Amino acid sequence: MGADARTDVPPAGPEDLREGQWPVSTGVVALERDSYTPDTWTVLVNGVPSSSINLSDPFHLDFEYMRWMALILGNVFDAEARLRVLHLGGGAAAFPRYVNAAFPESRQVVVELDARLNELVRGWFDLPRAPMLRLRSGDALDVVPTLTAASRDVVVRDVFVGDVTPSGFVDAGFVGEVARVLAPDGLYLLNVGDGPELVNVRRELSTLKGTFGNIIAVSDPAVFKGRRRGNIVMAASNQGFGDAARLVKGLLSDPLPAQVLAGNELESRFGAK
């Protein structure tokens, strides 16, 4: 991509997509065509892959952590459920787009810090319109405390600055606000980036278990063993996570087979020593 691409006029819609990079509120957003999968584009924010969108298939999720979240969500809720979903961090809204296709009666709100990014992805990818999907610009740390108690069935946290989740989102006070906003049987899904020392999953677990009665962690075994950096999906609820055997089977069938840790096994691996 040439340096002058930053001042070029952004694409006007799905039919006009092209590779390039453009200024947004928090830096630079780039579009790259996937050379292996037809109709698929990767959105990068400040050089970090943020979303992958298949224009012709909202069920196609390129990022493994989104597929794992989708499996957990489908294991907890029926497709007919009219879910009230809050997404903290939006990117190009690949996961909200999936949820709209998988749970068509749902109503979703995305809180994304970058207002310009919201504007661009709304035009580029022909996302569902309100009231099915609303894109709200703002800092999720400020927005969540203003929401009505028990007003959401699912909260999805996918917030990063670079490859790090800001510490405010791991704070016990914020987690308490998420729990307040969730319905009694609500589900909190988190995308956690971690390295070989696995310090982030330990910190997240310590905070979550002070508020939620049931917690699981999902990733591929290499990440859990500290062999490489990767994504760990955590789920927290005061109810359960559906049929455990079905979830395990689904995760093992993923293109990147994943392991689920729960209960004593999760605590022994990542709990306080």
* The pair of three-digit structure tokens given for residue 145, joined into one six-digit string: 């405390």
Q: Give the pLDDT of residue 9.
A: 87
For residues 141, 147, 151 and 155, what is the CA-based torsion angle, rounded to 10 degrees?
A: -10
Q: Give the pLDDT of residue 7.
A: 54
Looking at the whole model, is its pTM more than 0.85? yes
Domain ranges of the chain: 3-54, 64-270
pLDDT in tens, 14-38: 888 999 999 999 999 999 999 999 8
Buried/exposed code over 113-144 (b: 16+ C-beta within 10 A; e: otherwise): bbebbbebbeebbebbeeeebebebeebbebb
Q: Give the pLDDT of residue 194.
A: 97
Distances (CA, A) of 134 to 143, 161, 217: 14, 22, 29
Q: Give the pLDDT of residue 4.
A: 43
Q: Give the pLDDT of residue 151.
A: 99
pLDDT in tens, 106-149: 999 999 999 999 999 999 998 999 999 999 999 999 999 999 99
Sign (positive/negative) of CA torsion 169, 174, 175, 180?
A: negative
- Select 64-270's CATH number: 3.30.365.10, 3.30.70.360, 3.30.420.40, 3.40.50.150: 3.40.50.150
Which ranges of the chain have pLDDT less than 50?
A: 1-5
| Type of residue found at 151 | S
Q: Give the pLDDT of residue 273.
A: 61
